[in-house]
């Protein structure tokens, strides 16, 4: 009898040790998943190597998962709902024809003020002409080099109009100048969300950049009890997709954004409008600029001229021309 009881105790202890080992393995796996970048998803975050945790440009802690199901377009009648869960992007083919080769993964920002650099890095990858696609690191280094050149060049004709410095974010003028140095033309700029112009540009193969109030955009995806403060910070993101709504009005459209904090997700036109309107109200800056590849700007001189031309379309998004005062009007810009 004693031998039988001892065997049972040994078996129980073995199961306890096995469970403990499994729990430790699961904890280690969970810890590792927080240290490494996640796949492109609504709650992907940029990693701060110094702190070993993900950062958010408008929250102190990790953002909650975005409510994607509420943002997805309903499946057309007679189709498989599972196959229609993600809205169809009607800009994709036209963008390929215009020379864009956008990567599947959104570039995450690596600092609290890094959304401008991340947005430019994504566009650098998308517009690159190299035979082999640029890695994020390669594209980021190209962006930084171009920013340094614009900041120090005495011949570009940009330094006297705007001081380019991506370390503390970017004003609309800085973004326009940087885009020009990358061979990207700003075709239009608005201090609001003009959905007719935005949807039309996307369907013609262009892309867009938006300067929004981060909290206003995030709060549109959260339940009432989960929403943060009404106002956040100015935040740059890319718009690379459009899906028409049920009516002929573009006010019904959905837009896919590439958010350096939260990955790729779809937003309603009304929500995008709200986040831009709040950016203007709270920060005296915000809006949308549509952009396209300029294949005629190939030399250094041509791209510097394009950088100057782009500034004609960035004024509408807010203040920010050169000098020490450029941060005063958009002091929270990321």
pLDDT tens, residue by residue, 24-60: 554 444 333 333 333 455 443 444 434 333 333 443 3
What residues does 265 pair with on adjacent strands? 257
pLDDT reported for residue 225: 82
Degrees, nearest 5: CA angle 59-63-67:
135
Residues 286, 172: Cα–Cα separation, whole Å: 8
pLDDT reported for residue 216: 85
Residues 321, 172: Cα–Cα separation, whole Å: 9
Q: List helix spans (H) across the chain.
A: 2-35, 68-71, 92-97, 115-127, 136-152, 172-181, 195-203, 214-219, 269-283, 300-314
Confidence of residue 69 (pLDDT cuts 50, 70, 90): very low
Distances from the Cα of 126 to the Cα of 108, 151, 179, 292, angstroms: 15, 24, 12, 11
**217, 228 Cβ separation under 8 angstroms:** no
Residue from 213, 181, 183, 174 nearest 314 by CA: 174
**330, 284 Cβ separation under 8 angstroms:** yes
Confidence of residue 16 (pLDDT cuts 50, 70, 90): low
Strand 234-243 relative to strand 207-213, pairing? antiparallel
Q: What is the pLDDT of residues 209-229, one digit of tens each?
A: 999 998 888 777 777 888 778
Residue from 311, 252, 310, 320 nearest 284 by CA: 320
Residues 115, 325: Cα–Cα separation, whole Å: 21
**258, 106 Cβ separation under 8 angstroms:** yes
Query: 71: which residues sit within 8 A by CB, 6+ positions away?
Result: 221, 254, 265, 266, 267, 268
Query: pTM higher than 0.85, yes or no?
Result: no
Q: What six digits make up the tokens of 178?
A: 């940087």
Residues 306, 237: Cα–Cα separation, whole Å: 22
pLDDT reported for residue 40: 55
Residue 200's CB: how many other CB atoms inside 10 A?
15
Q: What is the pLDDT of residues 241-294, one digit of tens each?
A: 999 988 889 999 999 999 998 889 899 999 999 999 999 998 889 999 999 999
Q: What is the pLDDT of residues 170-198, one digit of tens each?
A: 999 999 999 999 999 999 999 999 999 99
């Amino acid at each position: 009898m004693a031998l039988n009881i001892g065997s049972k105790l040994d078996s129980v202890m073995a199961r306890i040790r096995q469970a403990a080992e499994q729990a430790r393995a699961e904890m280690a796996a969970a810890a590792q998943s927080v240290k490494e970048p996640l796949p492109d998803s609504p709650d992907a975050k940029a990693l701060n190597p110094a702190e070993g945790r993900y950062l958010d440009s408008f929250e102190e802690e990790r953002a909650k998962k975005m409510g994607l199901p509420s943002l997805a377009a309903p499946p057309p009648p007679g189709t498989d709902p599972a196959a229609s869960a993600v809205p169809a992007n009607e800009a994709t083919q036209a963008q390929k024809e215009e020379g864009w080769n956008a990567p599947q993964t959104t570039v995450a920002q690596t600092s609290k003020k890094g959304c401008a650099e991340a947005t430019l890095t994504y566009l650098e990858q998308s517009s690159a002409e190299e035979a082999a696609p640029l890695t994020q690191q390669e594209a980021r280094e190209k962006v930084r080099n171009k920013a340094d050149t614009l900041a120090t060049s005495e011949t570009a004709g940009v330094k006297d109009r705007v001081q380019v410095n991506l370390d503390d974010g970017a004003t609309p003028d800085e973004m326009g100048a940087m885009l020009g140095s990358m061979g990207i033309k700003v075709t239009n700029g608005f201090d609001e969300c003009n959905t007719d112009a935005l949807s039309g540009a996307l369907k013609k193969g262009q892309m867009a950049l938006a300067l929004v109030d981060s909290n206003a955009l995030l709060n549109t995806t959260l339940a009432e009890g989960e929403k943060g403060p009404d106002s956040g910070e100015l935040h740059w993101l890319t718009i690379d997709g459009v899906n028409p709504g049920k009516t002929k009005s573009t006010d019904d459209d959905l837009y896919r954004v590439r958010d350096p904090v939260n990955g790729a997700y779809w937003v309603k036109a009304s929500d995008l409008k709200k986040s831009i309107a709040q950016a203007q109200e709270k920060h005296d800056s915000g809006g949308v600029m549509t952009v396209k590849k300029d294949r005629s700007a190939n030399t250094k001189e041509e791209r510097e001229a394009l950088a100057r031309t782009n500034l004609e379309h960035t004024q509408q998004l807010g203040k920010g021309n050169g000098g020490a005062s450029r941060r005063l009007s958009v002091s929270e810009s990321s």
